[in-house]
Amino acid sequence: MVSKRLRTSAILSRVAISLAAVCYLASAQDIYDTIYNDIGSLPCVRLLNATGFVGCQSMGAASGVLYRADTLEDIKQFASDGGLGNQYTVVIPYWLLSSSNVDILKSSKRLAAILAVVNGTDPAHAVAARPTAIISPDTTCPNCEFGLYANTPNQYQWNPAGSGLLFEQFDFPIYALNTMDIRNTMSYASVMQAVNRNRDKGYRDYPLKSLQFHSFMWGAQDTGACLRKGWCTPVGGASVWSTPSTNISYTDEKPIVVITAAMDSRSLFHDLTLGVETSVAGMVTVLAVAEALSRSTIPLDTMSKHIVYTLFTGEAWGFSGSQRFVQDITSSPIQCEKPPTSGSGCAYPFYSDLEFQRLNPANIEAILEVGQIAGMGGAGGSSILYAHVDNIQESASTALLNQIVQIGANGSTTVPDSNAVQAASSDGVKRGLPPSSSMSFLKSRGNIPTVVLTDFQKQMSALTNHDQDDSWNTPNTVNLIQQAASVISKTAWLQAQGISDSAAMTPAQTEAIASIQVDAGLVQDLLECLSFNYSCPLVDRYLNVTASPTPPARLPHYSGTLYSQSQPFPIFAWSFLANMTSVKNTTSPTPRVTGCSSMPATVQCGPKEYCVGDRCLVSLTRYHDAYGTGLAMDSNSEYYIKDASKPVWTESTWDPIGLRMFDVTSPGSQIAELMTGLALTLVSSGVVWYSRRFLKKTLKED
Amino acid sequence: MAKPIEKMKPEEILTASKKLFFGGFALLPMLWVYNILYVWPVRNRADLSPQVRHYMLLSGILSVVLFVVFSVWFGIFVNQRLNWGTTGDTLTVVLVKGV
C-alpha cells in the first residue's frame, strides 16, 4: 500500500516536473519539496598544498540509493552482491572509514558516495559501539615536514598508528552525519529512516530512497595552479598575542617569556572539528595562566622580564600561525610601501597590525608551550604531564626543564598530585620536541630555552585530529589543565622575576607567588564554553553572544579561510586576554569606565582604550594574521606561492554544497519511462509530418 | 545568386580555385578544404585548366599537413596544458574547474 502510494506520487511528481516550467515560482518550490528533502550537510572538502590536493571531490552531482553497512562484513557483502543496481550511497559508522574499506567499496564499481556517521542514536552508531582501538587520521608525524627536525634523518614518529586518512584523495563525495544539534539530528533521523526502509525492502523493491550530493570543488592540481586561477583561498585566520607589559619596546632589552598554545585543529569534516585534545585544552590552559598571573600581587609589568601570551591559529596546517608570527617579528622593522587608507597596519606588504614590531625576537628567553593535555589519548585518565625539550640544543633548556619539574613536584602547588610533571626523557630516550608551535621559534633561533607540556610521553593521542574527539572525562581533563596552568604560571612568574632558585625568594615574592592560583571553576567553564557551548555566561559576559537570535553552541575549531570567516575563538581569546593583561584599576589613575558596549551612545572609550566586556581598558593585545608562510600577498591583494617548501595550504572554492533525498524508481521503469518519451516524440513527429502533407495536399486541391 | 560551378566557364573556375588557394594563406586553412569540395564535381571536365587540378592538389596537401599539425597540437595541448603552469592557463580560453 505504502509503496503503491509512493509510486503514484513519484509518477505524479515527474509529471509535475514537466509542468514546472509554466508554473509560478512559489509552486515550483512546492514541487521541489514534494520531490526532494534537503538534508543538513557536513561535507569533506578539498584542500590543496604545494604538491597536490587532499579531501573529497565529485565532478558531477553524485547520487545513489541508500545502503546500510554497519560492519566490515556488511561492506564486503555490498562489494560482492552481484544482484545490486548501479549507484549506491553507503551509510557506514565513522570508524569504518579507512582507505582499505573505501577500496573495498570502490571495487564494487557501484559506490556513488559515503555517509559516515560520527554519532548516532542507532545502536550501531552509538558511542558504545565505537571500537576500543582508535586510529588517528593524521600522518605518523603530523606537520613534521614543517617542524624543527624536518631535515633530520629518521625523525621520531609521534603518531605511529596514524592512518593518513586526512591526506587521501577521494573522487566521490563523503559527508558526515552527527546528532550534535537539532537540525543534524533531524537529518540523521531521516537518513536512517530511509536507509532502514531500503534495507527492509532488500534494496530491490523499488521505489527506493536515494541521496543526491553536490560537492563540486573548483580547485585542482595544487595550490600554485588554483591560486593563479583564483579557485582557492589560503587556510588561516587570526592568531592572538597579548602582554601585560603595555610599554614593551623592541629596544628595551628586557627578556621575554612566551607562553603559548594553539587555537585550531583539523579533522576530515571541518564542521565537526573540535580538537579538545589537539588544541582546546592547551588554549584553556593559556587563558587560565593569564587569569592566574593577573592575580599576582607584584604587578607583572614591573618585573624584570616581559610575559607574552601567544595563541596561534593555523597550527594544524604546518604551524602556519606560529611560523608567520616568528617570520614577522624577525623581519621587523617592516618596510611599509603603502600605508592603509584607514586604521592600523600596512596595505602593502599587507599586515593587519604592526604592533608586533615591539617584540624583539632576540629577547625571547623562555618558551612555555602547552600541547595536547586533555588526557583523552592514554589508557584511562593519566594525571601525569610530560615536559619535552629539544634534543639538538638540549643544554639550553635544561635549567627551565628542571625548574618546571621541580615546581610540578613541589608541595607548594595547589595540585594534590605530587610528581605531576615528569621530564619526557625520564625513561632515558631523547625524542626531542613533539610537533609544536615552539618549533617555529627554535627554527629561527635554536638556543631558546623551551619546554612543551603534554599528556603523552612517547605517542600523541589516538584522537589527534580525529572527528570523534567529542567525549572526555571532565574531572580528569580539568585536573590536567589545572596542573599544567599552575606549573606554567608559577614557572613563568619565577622566570619573569628572574628567580632560578625558589629558596632565595624575598617574603614579598613568596607572598606574591602564593597569590597565583589557578581557578578550577574557570578551567571547567572555559573547557565547556570553548568546546560545546559558545553561548555560556563566561563568553556572553565578553561578547554578548546570547543577544543573537540563534546563539551559537558548538562551533568548529577549523581555522577557516583567511579573512573570509568569523573567528569566534580568536575573538574570545582576544577579549579574555585583553581583560587579563589590561592595566589594573590600582595602577590606573582613573577608574575603569563601564557601559561602552551596553550604552555606546553615552559611554565612549578613550583613544588608546578598547571596549572589552562593557568596560574601557588599556591593553596590548593584538591579532596577528595566520596563514602559510609559503604564501604571500602581492600588490593586487592576490596570493601566490613565495616558497613552496613552507606551508601553503589552501581550501578550494566550491559550488553550493548540499545533499537531498528523493525516491528513485527501478531501472526497468526508468527505461520504460525513457522509451515512452521516445515513442511519444516519434509519434508526434509522425503526426506533424503526416498532417503537414495532408494539409498541403488539401490546400492545393482547393 | 551565384552561378553553380557546373555552369561556370573554365577561366571562372580557375579564378575561383586560385582565390581559394591563396586565400587559405590568410590564416583561413578551411578554404583549402573548401577548394577541393567546391571544384570536386567538375574535376574531370575536359575544358578545365590543368592549373585548377594543380591548385586542388596543393590545397589537399596543405589541408592534410595542417590537419596533422593541428591534431598533434591538440593532443599535446589537451594532455599537457595543466603541466605548463601560467603558459597553459594563458593558452586556454575556458579554464575547466575541478581539473
The residue in chain A having the minimum alpha-carbon distance to the alpha carbon of residue B94 is A229
C-alpha to C-alpha distance for A576 and A124, rounded to whole angstroms: 41
A73 neighbors A96 (Cβ within 8 angstroms): no
DSSP state, residue A448:
S
Instruction: Indicate the Cα dihedral angle A546, A550, A554, A555, nearest 10°.
Output: -100
CA separation, residue A565 to residues A255, A545, A570, A604 (Å): 36, 17, 12, 28
From chain A, the residues in CB contact with B94 under 8 A are: none
Task: Tell me which residue of A575, A584, A571, A586 sits closest to A610, measured CA to CA.
Answer: A575
Residue A615's φ and ψ, nearest 5 degrees, are: -125, 145
Strand, coil or helix: A505: coil
B80 neighbors B72 (Cβ within 8 angstroms): no
Strand, coil or helix: A630: coil
A403 neighbors A494 (Cβ within 8 angstroms): yes
Buried/exposed code over A106-142 (b: 16+ C-beta within 10 A; e: otherwise): eebebbbbbbbbbbbebebbeeeebeeebbbbbbebb
From chain B, the residues in CB contact with A216 under 8 A are: 97-98
Residue A56's φ and ψ, nearest 5 degrees, are: -115, 150
pLDDT attached to residue A412: 43
A613 neighbors A597 (Cβ within 8 angstroms): yes
C-alpha to C-alpha distance for B20 and A559, rounded to whole angstroms: 64
Quote the cell numbers at residue A550. 540563534
Closest residue to B99, CB basis, from A220, A224, A228: A220
CB atoms A216 and B85 under 8 Å = no
Give the 3-state secondary structure of A329-351.
Answer: HHCCCCCCCECCCCCCCECECCE
C-alpha to C-alpha distance for A325 and A328, rounded to whole angstroms: 5
CA separation, residue A390 to residues A154, A485, A488, A639 (Å): 16, 21, 18, 34
From chain A, the residues in CB contact with B82 under 8 A are: 220-221, 225
pLDDT attached to residue A415: 46
C-alpha to C-alpha distance for A256 and A245, rounded to whole angstroms: 10
Closest residue to B98, CB basis, from A218, A224, A228: A218
Quote the cell numbers at residue B94. 575556458
Place of cell 527505461: A671
Largest CA distance in chain A: 126
Query: Is the bond leading into A244 cis (omega within 30 degrees of zero)?
Result: no
The alpha carbon of residue A351 is apart from the nearest alpha carbon of chain B, in Å, by 28
From chain B, the residues in CB contact with A225 under 8 A are: 82, 85, 89
Q: Which of residues 3-62 of B touch A (CB under 8 A)?
A: none
C-alpha to C-alpha distance for A144 and A135, rounded to whole angstroms: 18
Q: How far apart are the first and last CA of chain B?
A: 50
pLDDT attached to residue A585: 45
- CATH code of the domain made up of A247-313+362-405+435-582: 3.40.630
A439 neighbors A522 (Cβ within 8 angstroms): no
Residue B93, chain A, CB below 8 Å: the answer is no
Sheet strands side by side (includes A421-423): A421-423, A385-388, A450-454, A364-370, A256-262, A306-312, A236-243, A620-627
In a mutational test of the B interface, the residue from A170, A171, A229 whose CB has the highest number of chain B CBs within 10 Å is A229
Spatial neighbors of A215 by CB under 8 A, at least 6 apart, are A43, A45, A56, A57, A58, A62, A173, A175, A654, A657
Q: Tally A–B CB contacts below 8 A.
A: 24
CA separation, residue A526 to residues A262, A488, A522, A533, A628 (Å): 15, 17, 6, 10, 28
Whether B17 shows a pLDDT value over 70: the answer reads yes
CB atoms A216 and B89 under 8 Å = no
From chain B, the residues in CB contact with A220 under 8 A are: 82, 97-99
Radius of gyration of the CA atoms of chain B, in A = 19
The alpha carbon of residue B96 is apart from the nearest alpha carbon of chain A, in Å, by 8
Q: Per-10-residue mean pLDDT for chain A, 702 residues long? A: 48 53 62 83 94 93 94 95 89 95 95 95 91 92 96 94 95 94 93 96 92 93 94 96 95 96 96 94 97 92 95 97 97 92 90 95 97 76 85 94 88 51 93 97 96 94 91 90 94 92 82 90 97 95 91 93 90 96 60 76 82 88 96 93 96 91 90 96 96 90 58
C-alpha to C-alpha distance for B29 and B41, rounded to whole angstroms: 21
DSSP state, residue A245:
-
Residue A88's φ and ψ, nearest 5 degrees, are: -130, 145
A110 neighbors A86 (Cβ within 8 angstroms): yes
Closest residue to B97, CB basis, from A224, A228, A231: A231
Task: Provide DSSP, A46-98.
Answer: -EE-SS-EEEE--SS-EEEEEEE--SHHHHHHHHH-TT--S-EEEEEEGGG--
- Give the torsion sign (CA, A614, A619, A621, A622): positive
Q: How far apart are the first and last CA of chain A?
A: 59
- Provide the β-strand partners of residue A388: A452
pLDDT attached to residue A337: 93
Instruction: Indicate the Cα dihedral angle A376, A377, A379, A385, nearest 10°.
Output: -80
Task: Tell me which residue of A469, A295, A459 sits closest to A371, measured CA to CA.
Answer: A459
CA separation, residue A266 to residues A271, A280, A409, A531 (Å): 10, 12, 34, 14
Quote the cell numbers at residue A329. 617579528
φ/ψ region of A563 (left if φ > 0, alpha if ψ in -120 to 50, else beta) reads left
Task: Tell me which residue of A488, A460, A290 sits closest to A374, measured CA to CA.
Answer: A460
Quote the cell numbers at residue A20. 514546472
CB atoms B97 and A225 under 8 Å = no
CA separation, residue A398 to residues A256, A347, A423, A448, A564 (Å): 18, 43, 10, 11, 43
The residue in chain A having the minimum alpha-carbon distance to the alpha carbon of residue B92 is A229
CB atoms B97 and A224 under 8 Å = no
Quote the cell numbers at residue A125. 552508531
